[in-house]
Amino acid sequence: MCETGRKQIASVLFSLFGIVENIGRMERCRPAHNKVMGKIRKILRSPITEKIGIFLCGVVNGLFGGGGGMLLMPILLRKTDGVRRAHATAPAVMLPLSAVSAAVYLLRGETDWSLLWKCALGLCAGSLIGAALLKKVRPRLLSTVFALLTLAAALRGLLS
């Protein structure tokens, strides 16, 4: 699959993620749509849909080298006791998945080692700061910023 096709698929998936994540907010804002939203929520919360969603997160992570955690967030939000806990759980859940994807890419010789080492220090430092900020950021703001970043990633993928 060409790089442009992969980016377009990622954009669509990230856009769908944003819609799924915000269904709860839409339901509270538009009570007239409660019946329809209730049916959508029931489908999205079914065990089989959840298992398919988790599987697709793995496929996305393997195909694109990342992004599975963003798609996993709606499931984590339902399974944990809040936005902060879901965001804190995501990296731990994604660690083995990312390790498998990384191992496959490393064994194929597709990894740019010089770029890996250039990015590693900044990414680790940023992760430490982000984890410390998680306790201080209001859950509503955290959800909003996350949704905006997801939308920005989708738009970038569609426009590039």
Q: What is the pLDDT of residues 64-100, one digit of tens each?
A: 877 788 788 888 888 888 888 988 898 888 888 888 8
Contacts of 16 (CB under 8 A, 6+ apart): none
Give one DSSP letter per residue of 13-74, joined into a string. Answer: HHHHHHHHHTHHHHHHH-GGGHHHHHHHHHHHTSHHHHHHHHHHHHHHHHHHSS-HHHHHHH
Please tell me the least confidently modeled range out of 6-10, 102-106, 133-137. 6-10
Amino acid identity of residue 156, one-letter, is R
For the chain, the domains span: 3-159
Residue 147 in this model has a pLDDT that exceeds 60: yes
Q: What is the pLDDT of residues 33-67, one digit of tens each?
A: 567 667 767 777 788 888 888 888 888 888 887 77
Distance (Å, rounded) from C-alpha 20 to C-alpha 150? Answer: 12
Residue 129 in this model has a pLDDT that exceeds 90: yes
Mean pLDDT of 109-136: 90
